[in-house]
Amino acid sequence: RMTARRASAPPPARARARFLATGLAAWWLTRSITRPVTRLSDASRAIAAGNLDVRVADGIGPRRDELGVLAADFDAMAARLRELLRAKERLLRDISHELRSPLARMRVALGLARQPGGDVARQLDRLESETERLDRLIGHVLHLARLDH
């Protein structure tokens, strides 16, 4: 009986090798899952800090599994966020310019009205026209802000 048991039991070296192989396979599998998740987590924090140029798909390799799809979607989201932020900044610059133009014309009209012999009635009409234009512009901006929410 003793010999039969020893013959069927794997030699200690073979058991250690299997244990080591299983451990390495488990480590590799765990690492292949946690590395992309860690990269996504780091990239999320970078975006939260304002870095919209961060990308993850290149860093995790050509994966075709769910993590690869998630990384590609994350990169698309980051690119879209960057695009939207730049468009918003452009819009704010354009709005600022559009609001300053009537104000500049109003200042000129005030200056002309204050000059001796100036056509005060004409300048007041001009001021009224520019005030109405400003009011319309601000109304458009408020309308856009409401559409955004």
Rg over alpha carbons for the chain, rounded to the nearest Å, is: 34
Contact 127, 109 (CB under 8 A): yes
Return the closest-CA partner of residue 110 out of 98, 96, 99, 126.
126
Task: Report how far residue 71's alpha carbon sits from residue 37's, in angstroms, rounded to the nearest whole number.
Answer: 9
The values of phi and psi at residue 117, to 5°, are: 80, 10
Contact 36, 71 (CB under 8 A): yes
Catalytic pick among 97, 140, 143, 149: 97
Tell the residue number behind the tokens 């396979």, with chain if given: 25
Cite the DSSP H helix spans in 2-65.
2-8, 12-48, 57-60
Decide if 149 is catalytic. no
Active-site amino acid positions: 97
